[in-house]
Amino acid sequence: MFWTYVTDRWDQIWFASWQHLWLVVQCLVLALVITLVIAFAVYRVPWARALANGVSAIGLTIPSFALIGLLIAPFGFGVLPSVIVVTFFATLPVLRNAVVGLGQVDPQIVEAARGVGMSRTRVMLRIELPLAWPVILAGLRVSAQMVMGIAAVTAYALGPGLGGFIFSGLSRLGGANSLNSVVVGVVGVVLLAFVLDLLLVGLGRLTVSRGIRVRS
């Protein structure tokens, strides 16, 4: 029964999964860029750092469902409010980790880098970012897990992805295939989260220097 439901709609499910994954990946990249800009701006200034940490803690308490509802008024239905909500929530854990990670870089090392004639920008890109990267990446993994679910919620604003299966199933619960529809959405999101996490672990293998990798 369930299998016939899945095989009958395989193309549709496959397409929605891709959309879902793409939405999340693109928003994660966007979130990472935003994070780095903010983190490098604030991490040296104690009050700004505290503010960033506060915002990322409080921001996580906002119900995503409420936020997407609120964004429909100014931005209408569709992709845009989804991207905004997913990016917003993706930014929070990464930002927290980025600020912490940059704060943990040994000031002696930064001074040595300045002392041999690296410019401020070069120190950021060649020294501070690579050293904080494992911590930032850990935040990115948390973000990825979290926004997989949030991306499903954005289907409320008729955004792309697997959320459509969940909402349409829930809205006609008891009807034909309604439960199957919800299960497809939920299981699909869980599987995608798993796949993305594996990809991020692989990214870590490729991008974290052997000199600072945690030995297992």
Partner 1 sequence: MSAADSPTTEVSGQKILLDQVTKTYAGQHGAAVDNLTLEIPAGKIVMLVGPSGCGKTTTMKMINRLIEPTRGRIVVGDEDVTTIKGDDLRRRIGYVVQGAALFPHMTVAQNIATVPKMLGWSKDRISARIDDLLDLVSLDPALYRDRYPRELSGGQQQRIGVARALAADPPVLLMDEPFGAVDPITRQRLQEELLRIQEDLQKTIVIVTHDFDEAVKLGDWIVVFREGGHIVQYDTPDRILADPADEFVEHFIGSGAGLKQLTLTRVRDVQLADAVTVAPGTSSADALARAREAGHGHVVVLDDRERPLRWPSLRSLGRTTQVPGGLDPDLPVVGSTATLQDALDTMLVSSAGAALVTGRHDAFVGVITVEVIMDAIAAAREASGADDEDTPIGTNERPEEPAAAEEPA
By CB under 8 A, name the binding residues for partner 1.
106, 108-109, 111-119, 122, 127, 130-131, 209-212
Nearer residue to partner 1 within complex by CB, 130 or 149: 130
Q: Considering the complex, what minimum distance in angstroms separates the CB of residue 47 from partner 1? A: 17
What is the residue-wise DSSP string for 52-121? HHHHHHHHTTS-HHHHHHHHHHHH-SSHHHHHHHHHHHHHHHHHHHHHHHHHTS-HHHHHHHHHTT--HH
Q: Considering the complex, what minimum distance in angstroms separates the CB of residue 202 from partner 1? A: 19
Tokens 């939920």, residue located: 186
Nearer residue to partner 1 within complex by CB, 115 or 174: 115
Nearer residue to partner 1 within complex by CB, 26 or 119: 119
Non-local (6+) Cβ contacts of 89 within 8 A are 59, 60, 64, 143, 146, 147, 150
Amino acid identity for residue 148 in this structure: M
DSSP letter at 204? H
Nearer residue to partner 1 within complex by CB, 11 or 210: 210
Q: Considering the complex, what minimum distance in angstroms separates the CB of residue 114 from partner 1? A: 6
Q: Considering the complex, what minimum distance in angstroms separates the CB of residue 100 from partner 1? A: 18
